[in-house]
Each structure stands twice: as C-alpha cells, then as structure tokens.
C-alpha cells in the first residue's frame, strides 16, 4: 500500500503533487527571526503572500520548539497568541491552517478559532488529553518524539520506534489513519553517542525506510541548525540556499509535504524537481 492521506481536504501521497506548508511564527523565541510576525498587518500580509505563492497549508506556531533554545511560555500566553493569529489569518485567506502546539487546551482553542490541522511535535505524547482533541481535527501531523533520543539503536530505528508509538496513540483515540501525516523530526534529536548533524544526515539518507508506515512524510529542513553547521552559517538568515538544495533531495527521497519559511522559492524547487522525476517522453 502506498502512502496516502487526506488532511483538511488536501490529498497527499505518491500520486499527488508535493504539497507546501508555509511557516508563520508569532513567537519571538523562534530560532529564525525572519519567520516571526507579531502585528495583525504583518500576519495578514505574509498569509496572503504565502497563499498566493502556492502554500497548501499555513502552519501557525505561538511557541518556539527548537530543542537548543529556551522557549517556555505560559499556556495562557501561547493560547492567546495562537487564537488571535488564527482569527487574523482567517480574515484574508481560506488556506487551511495547522496549529503547531503540544498542549490539548491550546489545540482546542485553535480548533475553535478556525485551525483544521494539528501539528504536534511530540507525537501526541506531551499531553495525555491531546489525542482526544486531535480526533476533532481534519488532519494530524505526528512528529517523532525527541524524548526517544537516547533509546538504544541506530537513528532510523529510534525514529521508527517513536513514530510507531505515536501511531498507537492515534489508533487508541480512533484517529483515522488516512488523516495522518508523519514527520521524522529533523533537527530535534540530540543524542549522547552521535552528533546531531550526523543524526539528521542518516535519517535523510534513509528516508525511504519510513515508507513502511504507509503514511505520507512531512519534512521540515528549512534553515535548520545542521545546515548552518555544514555550511558554517551561524545565522539562519544565511541558510536559504542550503535549505533549497536539500529540499530537492528530500523530495527525491520520498517527502510528500515540505514545511518551509520560504514558500515562493521552495515552490520553484518543488516544480523543477517534480519535472525531473517524470519519465521523459
């Protein structure tokens, strides 16, 4: 069986175009400051631009999730930020919105505000009430939980174990398998026995091994720290070209949904990569 999902009416899989998710952060704590938009006017502008540039989904986050940064804020602050941002974006576009949160109460508020997809970087593990809320969404993105980092085994086995656990939590909550997309958690794992950039390289090189789940894969490599380490760019603002090059490669490796800060540029990479994959006539 080939990977397939339908999230918020968007069909994702081998026989559909590679989809794009635009990143909109309202969290000053986020690692890439160029992705942070705080005013209503800026939110409307970037949402309209991303939608016009080809974003299939807008991913809105109110709390930074980079594992190497201090990003803790109160539940109340995250809830207020996220709900207000979703309301604002809904004023200018009908593009489906995904809520990037690990907390059930915040996910519920985001759903009420108009989000239709849940993006949980803990794979439904952070909050015991999250799976119940996730079922109310029209699609769920489950990331490999980085708490498995020091589990014995090679990186691919560890990520597989984490994703299996996430899918089990989803199954217990009776979330339909066809509404689930998986994320291997690039940039999130920090292991005592292997450098984090080497961890990510192994996962990216062996991405086809994750097809065994029969679920589409979302990849988020945009401007991440391992690109900075390889290219020796400490500032995420300098990592666009590395991100675009890697995007083409992960599409060849089987990525179905690309999460990016740079929708227009990534759209061109996706189009030319898909063209190259088509058999010559």
Q: By residue range, what is the domain housing residue 83?
A: 4-277
Nearest C-alpha neighbor of 122 from the set 104, 96, 143, 141: 143
Domain harbouring 143, CATH code: 3.20.20.20
Q: Domain total for the chain?
A: 1
* 117-158 pLDDT per residue, tens: 999 999 999 999 999 999 999 999 999 987 755 656 789 999
Helix axes 240-252, 263-277, angle to 10 degrees: 30
- In sequence order, what are the residues at sequence separation of 6 or more whose Cβ sits closer than 8 angstroms to the Cβ of residue 186? 200, 203, 204, 219, 220, 221, 224, 226
Is residue 246 pLDDT above 90, yes or no? yes
Which pLDDT score is estimated for 34? Answer: 66
Is residue 69 pLDDT above 60, yes or no? no
Share of the chain above pLDDT 90, in %: 79
* 27-60 pLDDT per residue, tens: 776 667 666 777 899 999 999 999 999 999 999 9
DSSP string, the chain: ---EEEETTEEEETTSPPEEEEEEE--TTSS-GGGB--SHHHHHHHHHHHHHHT-SEEEEESS---TTS-----HHHHHHHHHHHHHHHHTT--S-EEEE-S-HHHHHHHHHHT--EEEETTTT-S-TTHHHHHTTSS-EEEEPPGGGTTSSS-HHHHHHHHHHHHHHHHHHTT--GGGEEEE--TTT--BTTB-HHHHHHHHHHTGGGGGGG-S-BEE--TT-HHHHHHHT--SGGG-HHHHHHHHHHHHHTT--EEEES-HHHHHHHHHHHHHHHSPP-
* 187-200 pLDDT per residue, tens: 988 777 888 899 99
Average pLDDT score over the chain: 92
Which pLDDT score is estimated for 35? Answer: 65
Whether the pTM exceeds 0.85: the reply is yes
Neighbours of 230 (CB within 10 A): 14
């Amino acid at each position: 069986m080939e990977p397939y999902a339908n999230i918020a009416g968007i069909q994702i899989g081998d026989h559909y175009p590679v989809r794009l998710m635009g990143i909109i952060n309202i969290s000053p704590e986020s690692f890439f400051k160029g992705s942070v938009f705080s005013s209503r006017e800026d939110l409307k502008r970037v949402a309209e631009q991303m939608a016009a540039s080809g974003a299939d989904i807008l991913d809105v986050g109110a709390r930074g999730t980079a594992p190497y940064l201090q990003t803790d804020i109160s539940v109340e602050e995250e809830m207020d930020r996220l709900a207000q941002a979703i309301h604002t974006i809904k004023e200018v576009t009908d593009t489906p919105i995904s809520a990037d949160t690990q907390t059930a109460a915040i996910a519920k508020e985001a759903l009420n505000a108009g989000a239709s997809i849940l993006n949980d970087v803990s794979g439904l593990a952070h909050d015991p009430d999250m799976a119940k809320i996730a079922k109310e969404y029209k699609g769920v993105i489950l990331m490999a939980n980085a708490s498995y980092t020091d589990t014995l085994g090679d990186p691919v086995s560890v990520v597989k174990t984490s994703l299996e656990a996430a899918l089990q939590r989803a199954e217990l909550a009776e979330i339909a398998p066809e509404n689930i997309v998986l994320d291997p958690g690039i940039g999130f794992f920090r292991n005592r026995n292997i450098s984090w950039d080497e961890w990510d390289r192994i996962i990216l090189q062996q991405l086809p091994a994750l097809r065994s789940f029969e679920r589409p894969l979302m990849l988020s490599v945009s401007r991440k720290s391992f690109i900075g380490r390889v290219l020796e760019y400490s500032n995420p603002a300098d990592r666009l070209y590395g991100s675009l090059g890697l995007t083409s490669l992960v599409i060849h490796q089987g990525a179905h949904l690309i999460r990016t800060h740079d929708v227009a540029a990534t759209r061109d990479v996706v189009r030319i990569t898909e063209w190259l994959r088509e058999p010559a006539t």
